[in-house]
Amino acid sequence: SVTLNCEVEHPSAGWRFYWYKTVPDLSHNSYIYELLPGNSRGTEQDSYIVHGQTHTAGYVCRAGRGDPVFYTENSEPKFVWSGDLHPAASLTVNPDRVQHFTFDSVSLSCEGNSTEWRVKRFNEHGYQSDCSDWRRMTGSTCNMRLYWYGNAVYWCESGSGEFSNAVNITVWGDYHGIILVSPVHPVTEGESVSLGCRFRTEKNLSSVFFYHNDKLIQSDTRQELNISAVSKSDEGFYKFAVMEPKSSSSPVLLIVLLLCGIVLIILLLLCCCRKSTGETLIIKQSLISSDVM
């Protein structure tokens, strides 16, 4: 269960609270608010408990008092995201990876039981926008070129009220010449997954080192780490380092490149979530940087 709380800017006695569910209104690029059952007269309680939610949904509240009733403005929508691996709607990212470079081209496609879709974005500065604000929807697909850098969350909404699960996308600026390649969606236990290193410009590498919880698990020229069947034991921190061959003018045998001047530690967190259909593992990642040695 999830508890939602509603606050009035200047609290005082006599307020009653009303709760609504958001329904996407694609024609006006906004939402329609449907009053939740049992809220027609409001409630003195400033909280609402969502029980057993299986699909992503947005909620809004407002307050009212007096006779006739004076209502406040609606709150901003807040979303309760479902962890369902098979939601009614889905978002596909191509290429399928969390991290991208600036100027990369990425397509976000919506699928489900609807003919009308929009792609929404919530960036790290707290601003929510629609694909039509920064690019153009072509059918159910938002095609964009990444001129900005930073983190953002994306999801699909349909005209019939469906929401996809959300995905994270991180865009690195020109100062980052290397990224970790990992899928944007959760991985079910038993499935295979690949992690890799990708360069903005092609590199001739002599060695690539992959670590799991600071333990070296692969050391060769392969720029990819393959896990054939994900399990609980694969939980933990992952990082990698690369080495370039000696140049003719270099006085040392090898030049160690720790991610183009920055140590990039990749957190690959596989969180076990038990569901009635089986046990799943969720892949997440986080970035930590420090000065180069």
Residue 276, in any domain of the structure: no
Q: What does residue 134 show for φ and ψ, rounded to 5 degrees?
A: -125, -20
Residues 126 and 205 in one domain: no
* Beta pairing, strands 167-172 & 99-101: parallel
Residues 187/281, Cβ–Cβ less than 8 Å: yes
Residues 59 and 34 in one domain: yes
Residues 102 and 165 in one domain: yes
Quote the domain boundaries for residue 155.
Answer: 82-186
Q: What is the token pair recorded at 246?
A: 């000696």
pTM for the predicted model, two decimal places? 0.73
Residues 179 and 192 in one domain: no
pLDDT below 70 — which residues of the chain? Answer: 247-293
pLDDT tens digits for 243-254? 877 764 443 333
Residues 102 and 152 in one domain: yes
Listed residues 46, 80, 114: the one ending a domain: 80
Residues 86 and 122 in one domain: yes
- Give me the number of domains the chain comprises: 3
Residues 182 and 96 in one domain: yes
pLDDT at 98: 92
Residue 253, in any domain of the structure: no
Residues 113 and 170 in one domain: yes
pLDDT tens digits for 181-229? 989 987 888 999 999 988 888 777 788 999 999 999 999 989 999 999 9
CATH code (residue 139): 2.60.40.10
**In whole angstroms, what is the distance from residue 205 CA to residue 262 CA?**
17
Residues 179 and 191 in one domain: no
Residues 175 and 236 in one domain: no
Listed residues 186, 209, 229: the one ending a domain: 186
Give Cβ neighbours of residue 61 (< 8 Å, ≥ 6 apart).
Answer: 4, 6, 17, 18, 19, 20, 48, 74, 75
Q: Give the torsion sign (CA, 91, 93, 98, 99).
A: negative
